[in-house]
Each structure stands twice: as C-alpha cells, then as structure tokens.
Amino acid sequence: MSELGTALELRAVSKQYPGTLAVDEVSLLVRAGEVHALIGENGAGKSTLMKIIAGSFDDYTGEVLLNDKPVTLHSPSMAKAAGIAMIHQELTLAGPISVAENILAGRLPSRRGLLSRTALLREARRCLAMVGLEHLDPLVPAEDISPHEAQLVEIAKALGRTPCILVMDEPTSSLSREEVDRLFQIIRKLRRRGLAIVYISHHLPEVLAVSDRVTVMRDGRRIATKDTRDTAAAELVEMMVGRSVSDLYAERTAAPGARKLSVEHLTRRGFFHDVSLAVRAGEVLGLGGLSGAGRSELARSLCGIDPVDAGRIVLNGRAVRPRSYRSALRAGLAYLTEDRKAQGLALRLRMGENILSALIPRHCRWGVYSPGRGRGTLRRLVGALDITPPQPGRLVSTLSGGNQQKVLLAKWLATDPQVLILDEPTRGVDVGAKVVIHRAIAELADAGKSVILISSDLPELVGLSDRIAIMRQGRLIGEIDKADATEGSVLLAANGEGEFVRA
C-alpha cells in the first residue's frame, strides 16, 4: 500500500436529479499510488459520482479535495486542469485520424502557427511507451488498431496530460484474458509511479486481482470500503445487492433431446473455416476461444447477418440458408449482439417499442400495425426479467446498462426462437442483472429450446454450458464436456493446449 498521502477525497458529496437522489452524501478517500476499485449494481451511483469528479456537473453538493486542497470541478476542463483524467467504457478515439493526433487532441504542437510533425511524433511515441506500445506506428489511423491497442491508446492519451488521478470505467469490457493480464501489468506499473487509479468494474475477479482497496455503493450511498486482500467475492456481492447470493450461475441438470441445429463445414473466407457443430433441444452449447477466434463471426453468419461461402445449416431436420436476419428469425434463429447500443437497441425509442420491434410483422392486420396485440407479451417479459422501472413507455436511453441488456434479451425472447445465440449476454452488467439473465438462459433451455452461448467471462461460460466447443484462429478445434470444464481447461484449449476432445 502506498504511503504517498491522499490524492482524492470526497466529503459528503451528493447529486440530485429530478425525482432521484443519485448520490447521497458519499465520502471517499483515494490514496496516491493505489488502485481503488469502485463497484455496485447499475444504478448504484458509480457513474454519477465519477461524472462529478470529471467535472460534468456544476450543481453537486459537498466537498472535493485533491492533494488535501479543496477544488471546484464544475466543468470537464476544470477537472483536467486539476489533474483528473477519465477513461470511459465507450472509447472516444476518432477513427479516421492518426493515433498521434488522437493522443494529442486539443494540444497539438505547433510552430509559427503550423503543426509540428516532429514534435507530434516525439510526444506521441513518449506517451505510447508509457503503456508498452513502443512498436505501434503513431501515424496509423486509430480505426486500424485492435480493441486492446485502442484501450491502451486511450490510457496513453490520458497520461500525456500528467494526471494525478486516473479514472478507468470498465476498461476490460472488450479485451481477451491475455490482454487483460497485460493491461493489469501496466496498471501496476502506473501505481508504482505514484498515480492514483479509480477502477470501476462489474467483474469481481478483476477487482480482487488488481485493486488495493474496494468501495461498494448501493442506492446512491457508500456501503463500505475494504482492503481487497481481506475481502472475498461473496462478501462484495452481498454488500452490492443487499442480500446473500449463494451462486451467480444458474444450477440446472441438462436433459438434451433431439438434435435441433446442425452446422456442416460452414466457411466464410477470412473469418472462419470448415466449422461443423450440433446443438440439441434443451442444451446450452458454449463457444469458447480467444478474442479474434471467429466466434461472433460464426454467429452472425448463422443468422444471415453476414454471408457464408460454403457449408450447410440444418434446423429441425430441414436445410436452411438465411439470406437476411429477417429470414433467420422466420426460421427460428435469433442472435443477441454483443453491442447493445450500436446494433441491438434503438435508444431513442421506448422500452415497449424495442421489445416488440421484432414482432411487428406478426402484429399487423390488413397491413396495419396493432401494438396492443403485444401487451401480454410485454407484461410477461418485463416481469420475468425484472426490468426496472417496469414502465414500457420509458425511453431505453434512460435505463441503466443492466436493464438495457434485459430489454435486448426480452426483444429476442419475444420471438420465441428455436435457437437463441447469445454473444456476451452479460458484458458490462451488474451482479443482480447477471443472475436474472442466467436464470432466463436456464429456463429457455429447460423449455426445450437450444442456446449457443458466446462469453469471454470464463466462470459464466463454464457455469452455464452443458458442453463447450473451442474455436481457435477461425476453426473449431474440439470440445470439452461439462464434467471436465474448468476455467483453466477452457483457457488452455483456447490456446491449443491441454486435454480436450479434438475435432
């Protein structure tokens, strides 16, 4: 633990929205040279608290101190000037321009009114070196780098301003296990240099692995601050949800029936090759693999979103060849995308409109859409998934991330699919939402449907799957039975090692 003193202190900080007290007299202390995790369910007040620190509000109450001195943070520019850097979950890099221009955006070096290319490259390389990206060409467009590199470029951009506080919001949401480990090495290096890091995450194993202390929030209040080494995941979960959660993963005994979906030698050149697999009624088939293994690409092609070059798809004994996602839905194949905001939901529409949007053709009579025909479905799904608040007329954009994810799941459950493909169904959601989503997956399988689960959360993949098929470099290389599946065995198999039934 660092002995460098206090970097950030909040004293009885509150923030009121119309009708909601989002942050209620929260006091928090972050030491220099420590990683301080901030956890809580969606809606607990974490994001609002961090927005206060980042200068997004001018109407908070309470006191903020940096290095034991009171500061006013009523704008983002004031927060940056005070030494606070914020790295958001949604990356903010501008794709068409270079990595160097992204890093120095707002402070491009100039000489006699013209951009100094030499100074630009020198400063960009210095910032990239701080995050282990010495090899990256600063002139490459940001849209051409990997998600892992983009995350590190965001950190380099923040470090270039020499902050004293670095706030990281879900920094690993799009990273593989190997990339997370490399990111943690960089975080520990920054901590040793005396930087104070506030680390926000829903992934408790990450919190326990990287943080020195952890603060739990619930309903806008600080519940407790604990030394990580003296804390267990079960204790954190209980504080987060206000009740005991004995197991985050739904327990079920699989009873697979007849083969429902078969994939035979499916190929999309450059993405996946010669993939053959089958999933039975009442079965959850996990798809394991490292980032870039081709899992999402396979899922998208199965559902007609992307084309295939060769192979056959058989559903309930009949060959199908979805030419579009609409035709896949008609056949009984549904796909929940990993990117709910960009590809899954219409954020400007209401909750009810989103959930029923895939049923519009079924709810038309004589060519006229009748939304009233979906009211029963809407009530059933909102209740079953505990979507909060249960107001179908509420804009989806105003819901927490966990409730948005439940709305997306409800949208595809409403179609009553024969096979539901779930791509990272709990990414970036809180523990309570995870429990609800896991229960819905188990109930779907128990009802005789088939589920294909793609998840980078290894405990989730192992805990929910009846079998796990392993993909590597675009090929299906084998599978692991539930009795033999552990986090370690799946990770080894994803790297082409260990014991598994090879394809």
- The pLDDT value given to residue 454: 96
Does residue 406 carry a pLDDT above 70? yes
Assign 248 a pLDDT band (cuts: 50, 70, 90): low
Burial class (CB within 10 angstroms; exposed 0-12, middle 13-18, buried 19+) of 204: buried
- The pLDDT value given to residue 417: 95
Q: In sequence order, which residues have a C-beta less than 8 Å from that of residue 222 and are 6 or more positions away?
A: 26, 27, 28, 215, 216
- The pLDDT value given to residue 247: 56
Does residue 456 carry a pLDDT above 70? yes
pTM confidence score: 0.65
Q: In sequence order, which residues have a C-beta less than 8 Å from that of residue 399 and are 6 or more positions away?
A: 351, 387, 407
CA 106/CA 240 separation, integer angstroms: 39
CA 206/CA 199 separation, integer angstroms: 10
Q: 412, 356 in Cβ contact below 8 A?
A: no
Q: 465, 435 in Cβ contact below 8 A?
A: no
- The pLDDT value given to residue 97: 93
Q: What is 54-84 written as a DSSP string?
A: TT--S--EEEEEETTEEE---SHHHHHHHTE
- The pLDDT value given to residue 438: 93
* Distance, C-alpha 111 to centroid of its chain: 42
- The pLDDT value given to residue 216: 94
Does residue 359 carry a pLDDT above 90? no
Average pLDDT over residues 419-438: 88
Assign 251 a pLDDT band (cuts: 50, 70, 90): low
Q: Which of 82-86, 201-205, 250-254, 373-377 has the highest mean pLDDT?
A: 82-86
- The pLDDT value given to residue 246: 52
**Which residues face 286 on adjacent strands?**
453, 468
- What is the C-alpha R_g of the chain? 24
Alpha helices of 193-271 — where are they, by DSSP H?
204-210, 233-241
Q: 277: part of which helix (H) or strand (E)?
A: strand 272-280
- The pLDDT value given to residue 249: 65
Does residue 419 carry a pLDDT above 90? yes
Does residue 350 carry a pLDDT above 70? yes
Does residue 331 carry a pLDDT above 90? yes
- The pLDDT value given to residue 446: 93
Q: Which two tokens stand for residue 391?
A: 């107001």
Does residue 42 carry a pLDDT above 60? yes
Does residue 368 carry a pLDDT above 70? no
Nearest by Cα to 66 from 27, 29, 117, 34: 29
Cα angle value 411/414/420 (rounded, 5°):
80
- The region of weakest confidence among 66-80, 262-276, 296-310, 365-379 is 365-379
Provide the phi-psi class of 5: left if phi over 0, else alpha when psi is between -120 and 50, else beta.
left
- The pLDDT value given to residue 250: 60
Give me the torsion for CA of 289, 291, 293, 298, rounded to 10°: 100
Assign 3 a pLDDT band (cuts: 50, 70, 90): low
Q: What is 341-384 written as a DSSP string?
A: IIII--TTSBHHHHHHGGGGGGGEETTEE-GGGGHHHHHHHHHH
The amino acid sitting at 216 is V
- pLDDT tens-digit map of 56-88: 998 999 999 999 999 999 899 999 999 999 988
Q: Which two tokens stand for residue 343?
A: 């590809």
Does residue 2 carry a pLDDT above 50? no
Nearest by Cα to 156 from 189, 117, 178: 189
CA 336/CA 327 separation, integer angstroms: 16
Q: In sequence order, which residues have a C-beta less than 8 Å from that of residue 450 and are 6 or more positions away?
A: 260, 261, 279, 280, 281, 282, 283, 285, 418, 419, 420
Average pLDDT over residues 93-109: 91
What is the share, in percent, of the chain residues with pLDDT greater than 70? 94
Mean per-residue pLDDT over the chain, rounded: 89
Q: 238, 448 in Cβ contact below 8 A?
A: no
Assign 386 a pLDDT band (cuts: 50, 70, 90): very high
Cis peptide before 389 (omega within 30 of 0): yes
Q: In terms of residues, how long is the chain?
A: 503
The label of the residue with tokens 């804009």 reads 395
Q: What is 123-183 written as a DSSP string?
A: HHHHHHHTTT-TTS-TTSBGGGS-HHHHHHHHHHHHHTT--SEEEEESTTTT--HHHHHHH
CA 299/CA 277 separation, integer angstroms: 12
Does residue 21 carry a pLDDT above 90? no
Domains located in the chain, CATH noted: 1-83+164-244 (3.40.50.300), 91-162 (no CATH), 259-502 (3.40.50.300)
CA 417/CA 186 separation, integer angstroms: 43
- pLDDT tens-digit map of 206-225: 899 999 999 999 889 999 99
What is the share, in percent, of the chain residues with pLDDT greater than 90? 57
Classify 282 as helix, strand or coil: coil
CA 79/CA 106 separation, integer angstroms: 15
- The pLDDT value given to residue 317: 92
Does residue 300 carry a pLDDT above 70? yes
Does residue 19 carry a pLDDT above 70? no
